[in-house]
Amino acid sequence: MRLIATDLDGTLLNEEHEVSKENIKAIRQAQKQGIEVIVATGRTYFDAFTICEKFGLNTYLISYNGAAIHDKSGQRISSLTMERDDVQYMAKWLEERDYYYEVSTDKKIYIPSNAKEILYREAESLKGTKFELEPIYFEETLDQIFSQSGMTSVKNHEEIMIANEGIYKVFGFSFNDKKRQIAINQFAGMKQFLMTSSMTNNFELGHRDASKGNALKIVADRLGISLNKAMAIGDNYNDVSMMKIVKFSVAMGTAKDDIKELCSFVTYGNDKDGVAHAIEKFMR
């Protein structure tokens, strides 16, 4: 084993959005033995960096689902931004139809000023139906969304376009399955973008060449490491591209069954030090 890539949310981070002592210990032990560790996430670079810095982890960082790569010193070594006209079209479409959305740039995460109201209205509209949300799930979802650093409210999408910032990702979300599918169908034909998902009820769009798998290959080539000596750990569909290109693919115990079936090993859940368990198993 020469290289380990791990996702953040639902994988390295537990339900309190923290990296457990056991996971930190396992990563550091792997690094001491000369194994390169990479954090690969759909989050922005500055958000992921803040998390890694908080828990004392110094790794390569793949962010925005592979649209950006930074080395251990923070130097950006790869960047795939989206065309502004396309982003404007998507943000305008989502805004006019009352979707919660995010536009992630190299500096901020832009969200509608009424973001929470949108989500509360959706939850309220599902009450009394078979799709009614469990209160705990609703609050945990809001906590996950709004725990990101760098979030900035805007009155409308035009304020985002005024900012002269590289745009890496558009994130859409709806608790309403039908409403979410309408948006997915609307953007699915835009071949200049790659669509994926990192959590229940969302969809994400980025540059067509931006994937965790492509980014991981760039880093591995840069380090001169064969992917036959690499492991990837994740829990959701935006992790699949890196799971498919490594020899050792690991699904979290909380992952969906179709993702588990893709992998060579299933570890414990993110609240049970699943990353540490996977690293220790393969190091042995």
Q: Among all residues, which ones are annotated catalytic? A: 7
* Residues 6+ away with beta carbon under 8 Å from 53: none
Query: Cα 23–26–28 angle (5° rounding)?
Result: 110
Sign of the Cα torsion 250, 254, 257, 258 reads negative
The answer to whether 62 and 40 have CB atoms below 8 angstroms apart is: yes
For 92, how many CA atoms within 13 A lie in the half-sphere containing its CB? 8
Residue listed under structure tokens 């949310």: 9
Whole-number Å distance between alpha carbons of 195 and 274: 27
Whole-number Å distance between alpha carbons of 49 and 58: 9
Q: Which tokens in the block code for residue 229?
A: 């000596």
What number of other Cβ atoms are within 10 A of residue 192's Cβ?
11
* Residue 87 CA from chain centroid, whole number: 19
How many helices (H) and strands (E) the chain has is answered by 11, 14
DSSP, res 271: T
Sign of the Cα torsion 208, 213, 217, 223 reads positive
Residue 39 CA: distances (Å) to CA of 55, 60, 74, 80, 142: 13, 6, 13, 18, 23
